[in-house]
Amino acid sequence: MASGGMILISLLAAAQATAAPAAPRPSPSEIVAAAPAAAWRDIPPAELLVMTLANGAEVTIRLAPDWAPRHVANMRALAAAGWWDGTSVNRVQDNYVVQWGDASEAKPLPKAVAATPPAEYERPARGLSIRTLPVRDAYAPAVGHAGGWAVARTGDAAWLPHCYGMVGVGRNLAPDTGSGAELYTVIGHAPRHLDRNIAVVGRVLDGIEALSSLPRGTAALGFYDKPEQRVPIARVRLGSAVTPPPAWQYLDETSPSFAAYAEARANRRDAFFNRPSGGADICNVPVPVRRKP
């Protein structure tokens, strides 16, 4: 019989786990599913951006106003103006990013949008309450979670690392910082070398597969070669302008459930695993989110 059909089905048949070094313990997803209502925090609808592709697929993004306030203000103004409606996904580079915006680069920005906001590539760590994750990280001396975000820190500088699904602002060479009209999200191994070099403005909470499964572009850097390959965007709206407003929650990093989840991400002891890692990459400990039940 061909083996492996159940690869990573880790919740089944503990009786089969004869080689497991200890009794199976809950998996990260089981821990999250069992988290009590008190462990979840509402995300305000005005902190959500809903992008609807012409094919009907929806992508829901949480904005990061505490991390890149001027860029996020621009994005809210762009959504309010319907500026992205009729623009398109123009670039899909494998193991890197999907990028969208105005392919012509000629569409005027609304007056409320600052063309060159400050370089919001990091922020002071003071004012943040970071739950440190006790792991090594190649890019920062310390990593952890704060306010529902994975974060990295050195001294008094903190930033949002470029994990899978994070949303950043396209820009040209410095001193340009990008307006927020041209955006990308990560669809591969975290390109952390971009950290502190670009404004990170959010995270895809839902629907990223509508972007990550798009055909890769064959022009340089994964741009689509022909205009007809671009994927049209029907509209982008702030969550507070959608009826009914989208209701999402994140798992509070100060909750016992989050502590158990983070520990289990580093030390899998469900039946499939013979050898827990003892560590975890910050991008492998994403903050759990859910639709508010």
Q: What is the rounded distance in angstroms from the CA atom of residue 129 to the CA atom of residue 121? A: 19
Give alpha helix (H) positions in the chain. Answer: 28-33, 69-80, 209-212, 256-266
* Beta pairing, strands 157-159 & 123-124: antiparallel
- Least distance (Å) between residue 1 CB and a second copy: 6
Could you tell me which stretch among 41-49, 58-66, 241-249, 266-274 binds a second copy (CB under 8 A)? 266-274
Could you tell me which stretch among 39-47, 57-65, 187-195, 246-254 binds a second copy (CB under 8 A)? 187-195
Q: What is the rounded distance in angstroms from the CA atom of residue 94 to the CA atom of residue 99? A: 12
Question: Which one of 163, 233, 262, 289 is in contact with a second copy (CB under 8 A)?
Answer: 163
Q: Is 13 in the site for a second copy (CB under 8 A)?
A: yes
Q: Is 188 in the site for a second copy (CB under 8 A)?
A: yes
Please say which residue, 73 or 103, places its beta carbon nearer to a second copy: 103
Q: Is 94 in the site for a second copy (CB under 8 A)?
A: yes
Query: Phi/psi of residue 241, each to 5°?
Result: -100, 5
- Least distance (Å) between residue 52 CB and a second copy: 18
- Four-CA torsion 65, 73, 61, 265, nearest 10 degrees: -20
Please say which residue, 158 or 169, places its beta carbon nearer to a second copy: 169
Contact positions with a second copy (CB under 8 A) in 128-147: 135-139
Structure tokens at 153: 């820190």
Q: Is 56 in the site for a second copy (CB under 8 A)?
A: no
Q: Is 57 in the site for a second copy (CB under 8 A)?
A: no
CB atoms within 10 A of CB 265: 20
- Least distance (Å) between residue 225 CB and a second copy: 14
CA distances from 226 to 51, 223, 231 (A): 23, 9, 11
Could you tell me which stretch among 43-51, 52-60, 100-108, 247-255 binds a second copy (CB under 8 A)? 100-108
Q: Is 23 in the site for a second copy (CB under 8 A)?
A: no
Q: What is the rounded distance in angstroms from the CA atom of residue 258 to the CA atom of residue 52? A: 31
Q: Is 271 in the site for a second copy (CB under 8 A)?
A: yes
Question: Which one of 19, 22, 23, 37 is in contact with a second copy (CB under 8 A)?
Answer: 19
What's the gap between Cα 22 and its chain centre? 34
Question: Which one of 60, 88, 99, 249 is in contact with a second copy (CB under 8 A)?
Answer: 99
Q: Is 4 in the site for a second copy (CB under 8 A)?
A: yes
Residues 206, 267, 133, CA angle at the centre, nearest 5°?
Answer: 70
